[in-house]
Amino acid sequence: MNMAADLARRAARNRWLDRPAYHENDLTLTHGRLHQLAARAATVLADAGARPGTRVLLALPDGIAWVTAFLATARLGAVAVLANPHLAAGDHAHIVRDARPRLALAPTALAPRFTALAHLTGAQLLHRAAAQPPAPPAENDPAHTLYIQYTSGTTGAPKGVIHRHRDPAHYYTGAGAQLLDIGEDDVNLSVSKLFFAYGLGNSLAFPLYSGGSAVLLPGPPRPAAIADLAARHHVTHLHAVPSAYAALSAHSDPAAFGALRAAVSAGERLSPALAARVSAHLDAPVLDQLGSTEAGHAFASNSLTRHTPGTVGTPAPGFELQLRDRDLKPVADGTEGELWVRGPTVMPRYLNRPKETARTLIDGWLATRDRAVRNPDGTYTHHGRTDDLEMVGGITISPAEVEEVLAAHPAVRDVAVASLPNTEGATKLRAFVVPHRGEHTSGLEAELTALARARLAPFKVPRSVQFVDSLPRTATGKLQRFLIRTAPAR
């Protein structure tokens, strides 16, 4: 099996060759042209040292060059190592030490970071490919490693997650086709980038396996840019994280989203208040889902035919979910537990981390580190991460519950809650609030405290509110709560 060759055959068989696959700036590339370009680019990579099993670092921005490089690497049977080009130099060095790639594809500005490797820019790859013959596809076992994707580092050093040639097809046949009804007439736009699990499914698996297309945004996903692209390309499926949706609902023209069939949210817990606000703004359902780098894409999701706001829906096709207590015993419906998942795209292991793999994978079940409740109707309500729990006065609480209440205030754009020591050393709950632009904070702390007292138990009410311009988040939009916990005492 070879994922790239299989996609090329699929496009020919389904007569997609002349259909648009990607839109980048003013360029539209068809499925046929893409697969031809990738086959020729594989020859360029082979000339640069890529071989079956060798690793190729992709540190490119989203664009046609990124997709071409990924498919070319797959065609050779080499392994793509996905890296955010905006990482700090130390983070790139960590990935190079851990993955040991032979070749790096990265912008010219990043070349000094990869002096020990052969180096190509995306533009060089595309230019050289035009004059090369196509490389024959390597034949692999379906379990052959296709790519290594690094976790977002919400709790520490990123870990390399291994995925196989067979996995991307499942991303589409499960979440993409059956839950989101993505077909050959649909256009996807993902705020999450291709080098992340969420973005890879949205912008690579969904268009290439459906015969549809995707809009690629190399630059930052600002609300005006998203709205412009959505209107210009008649986007039917928008994929973003809650913080991006909050900005979009506040700073975009809803008329730009007239073709939208669904807005998909992942990467972080979506509050019901934000979901309702975004749905009204976009005039489309906001379908919350839950996934992870270790699972490849979504393992639980709402769908166009079954949508229960306030939940992450039901298990995606092919996946099983189980909630367990600390002794790994199943808990009853309505009881919060730690979420474990089993399914076709769960990683076989972490790269170079056998002990971490053994703790995370037990008898084929993946410990997601998420906390959730299974409801009587079979849906799941997400209650945050196991490492997000806070201890206040000897009582363990979930800050997500407090954040949901505070986020319901119309002046709040973003919020995080953490347990921090005060100047006397006593641990107190503090809320960090990002107000909407133009909102006055005078009196807002008192309003938020009153709101929390009206809806929460007394020990869950923040003892102070700190107004900030932004919250520390990873590039996928996930809150880095461990950084919030380092705020100075007050």
- DSSP letters, 364-429, are TEEEEEEEEEE-TTS-EEEEEEGGG-EEETTEEE-HHHHHHHHHTSTTEEEEEEEEEE-TTS-EEE
Please count the other Cβ atoms lying within 10 Å of the Cβ belonging to residue 233. Answer: 18
- Beta-bridged to residue 238, according to DSSP, are 189, 263
pLDDT at 418 over 70: yes
Confidence of residue 367 (pLDDT cuts 50, 70, 90): very high
Residues above pLDDT 90, as percent of the chain: 79
- Same domain assignment for residues 316 and 404: no
- Look at residue 421 and tell me if it is in a domain: yes
Instruction: Give the mean model confidence (pLDDT) for residues 158-186.
Output: 96
Whether residues 362 and 397 fall in one domain: no
Question: Are 399 and 257 within one domain?
Answer: no
Task: Report the domain count for the chain.
Answer: 2
pLDDT in the model for residue 167: 98
Phi and psi at residue 174, to the nearest 5°: -85, -85
The answer on 280 and 403 residing in a single domain is no
Instruction: Note whether 334 and 422 are same-domain residues.
Output: no
* CATH code for the domain of 469: 3.30.300.30
Maximum separation of any 2 CA atoms in the chain, in Å? 71
Q: Is residue 381 part of a domain?
A: no
- Do the domain assignments include residue 380? no
Which whole number is the average pLDDT over 89-93? 91
Which of 347, 374, 401 delimits the end of a domain?
Answer: 374
User: What pLDDT shows up at residue 153?
Assistant: 59
Two tokens, residue 207: 């268009």
Cα separation, 227 vs 256, in Å, equals: 5
Tell me: pLDDT of 397 over 90.
no
175's tokens: 């979440």
**Tens of pLDDT, residues 281-293:** 999 999 999 999 9
Residues 351 and 395 in one domain: no
Q: Is the pLDDT of residue 113 over 90?
A: yes
Give mean pLDDT, residues 60-67: 98
**298 and 404 together in one domain:** no
**CA 266 – CA 320 distance, rounded (Å):** 19
What pLDDT band is residue 146 in, cutting at 50, 70 and 90? very high
Structural domain for 431, as ranges: 389-484
Band (pLDDT 50/70/90 cuts) for residue 456 is: confident
Q: Are residues 336 and 359 in the same domain?
A: yes
What is the pLDDT of the chain when averaged over all its residues? Answer: 93
Q: Is residue 208 located within the same domain as residue 301? A: yes
CATH number at residue 279: 3.40.50.12780
In-domain check, residue 206: yes
Report the pLDDT averaged over residues 349-354: 97
Cα separation, 108 vs 122, whole angstroms: 9
Of 374, 404, 421, the residue that ends a domain is 374
What pLDDT digit, counting tens, does each position of 133-142 carry? 999 999 999 9
| Confidence class for position 396, pLDDT limits 50, 70, 90 | low
At residue 195 the predicted structure's pLDDT band, cuts being 50, 70 and 90, is: very high
Q: CA 66 to CA 125: how far, in whole Å? A: 10
CB 208 within 8 A of CB 182: no
Among residues 316, 349, 374, the one where a domain terminates is 374
Report the length, in residues, of the chain.
490
Evaluate if residue 28 carries a pLDDT over 60: yes
In a domain, 396, yes or no: yes
pLDDT at 156: 56
The dihedrals phi and psi of 426, each to the nearest 5 degrees, come to: -80, 140
**Rounded mean pLDDT of 208-224?**
95
- Burial 435-473, CB ≥16 within 10 A → b, else e: beeebeeeebbeebbebbeeebeeebbbeebeeeeebbb
Interval 451-457 mean pLDDT: 89
Instruction: Confirm if 171 and 205 have CB atoms less than 8 A apart.
Output: yes
In a domain, 383, yes or no: no
pLDDT at residue 39 in the model: 98
> Do 47 and 131 have their domain in common?
yes
CA 138 to chain centroid, in Å, comes to 29
pLDDT of residue 426: 57
Same domain, 194 and 281: yes
Query: pLDDT-derived band of residue 164, with 50, 70 and 90 as boundaries?
Result: very high
pLDDT confidence of residue 297: 97
Instruction: Specify the higher pLDDT residue, 398 or 381.
Output: 381
At 395, is the pLDDT very low, low, confident or very high (cuts 50, 70, 90)? low
pTM: 0.84
What is the DSSP-derived secondary structure letter of residue 257? G
Instruction: Label residue 243 by pLDDT band (50, 70, 90).
Output: confident
Residue 382 counted as domain residue: no
Q: Which helix (H) or strand (E) holds 214?
A: strand 213-216
Domain annotation covers residue 347: yes
- Cα gap 441→434, rounded to integer Å: 10
Position 231 pLDDT exceeds 80: yes
More confident residue, 124 or 244: 124
Give yes or no: residues 64 and 210 share one domain: yes
Whether the pLDDT of residue 424 is over 60: the answer is: no
For the residues 240-268, what does the mean pLDDT come to? 92
